[in-house]
A = this chain, B = another copy of it.
Amino acid sequence: MQERAVRTREVILRAAAEVFDEFGFSGASISKIMKRAGVTQGGMYFHFPSKEALAQAVMVEQGGGLELPPGENGLQRLIDITLYLAEELQTNPKLRAGVRLAVEQGEFGVQDDSAYRAWAEEFGGQLSAAREKGELLPEVNVEELAWVLVSAYTGTQLFSQISSGRTDLHQRVVSLWRYLLPGVAAPPLRPLLTFAARRRRAVA
């Protein structure tokens, strides 16, 4: 029973993500999501009492189920993760919906930065590893830079979404790194960092 409940919750979240991704918060409805998930009203309300609760869960769990690219933690892997996310933002409904809701949350009266903080923690973990390996300039503050990266990435994907439906997102993420790396990476590392779209191993 427990296992089945977990599975049902997952099916509902996936359906909710698809509907929010397609229609946004105000265009989505519980009945649309129930129909897409193939669950009864009872099953739905057991897990999520409202559309707001569903949106909150999709927003906060946006990174769940992602298979981040492998490799040794550090600056190259952080770059790889940002490029991987640029790809997933084209096609992955959970990530797309979670990001969309996190950006548009003001429209439905929510003010919750936990999704942003989760990414800052993920990026900060890679930066801490980079620091240990001597990959960062001494003046870099790991926590401050993690927040700068999440901020800059958020705006990059948003502007790209509005301009091009994110078709140019990969190139824009590369541009962002181009101007950030001189203030971040130790000079000997810089020429070794690569921006290939589908790297599966870290170089450093």
Contact = CB atoms under 8 A, between A and B. Distances in A.
Interface of A: 24-27, 100, 102-109, 111-113, 116, 140, 144-145, 147-148, 150-156, 158-163, 172, 175-176, 178-184
Contacts of A180: 179-180, 183
A151 B149 CA distance: 11
Q: Could you tell me the dominant secondary structure of chain A's interface residues?
A: helix
A70 B135 CA distance: 40
Contacts of A116: 159, 162-163
Interface centre among A140, A158, A176 (most CB of B within 10 A): A158
A184 B175 contact: no
Nearest to A111: B162
A90 to B, nearest CB: 16
Nearest to A158: B154
